[in-house]
Amino acid sequence: MSAPLRVGTRASLLATTQSRWVAHQLGVPVELVEVNTEGDVNRGPLAQIGGTGVFVSALRDALLRDEVDVAVHSLKDLPTAAADGIVCAAIPLREDPRDALVARNGLTLGELPPRSTIGTGSPRRTAQLNALGLGLTVLPIRGNVDTRLGKVASGEVDAVVLARAGLSRLGLLGEVTEMLDPLQMLPAPGQGALAVECRADVPHLVEQVALTLDDLATRSAVEAERSLLATFEAGCSAPVGALGEVVDGDDGVELWLRAVVVHPSGYPLIRQSATGRLDDAFGVGRDLAHQMLADGADSIVKEPVT
Active site residues: 77
Scanning the chain, the segments in alpha helix (DSSP H) are 13-26, 38-41, 46-49, 57-64, 123-131, 145-153, 164-169, 203-213, 216-232, 281-294, 297-301
CB atoms within 10 A of CB 47: 18
Please say whether the dihedral angle defined by the alpha carbons of residues 25, 146, 45 and 179, taken in this order, is positive or negative: positive
What distance lies between CA 289 and its chain's CA centroid?
18
The DSSP secondary-structure symbol of 175 reads: G
Distance CA 285, CA 280 (A): 9
Cα→Cα distances 140→18, 57, 279, 288, Å? 25, 24, 39, 30
Contacts by 39-44 with C-beta closer than 8 Å and gap 24+?
39/77, 40/10, 40/11, 40/12, 43/142, 43/143, 44/142
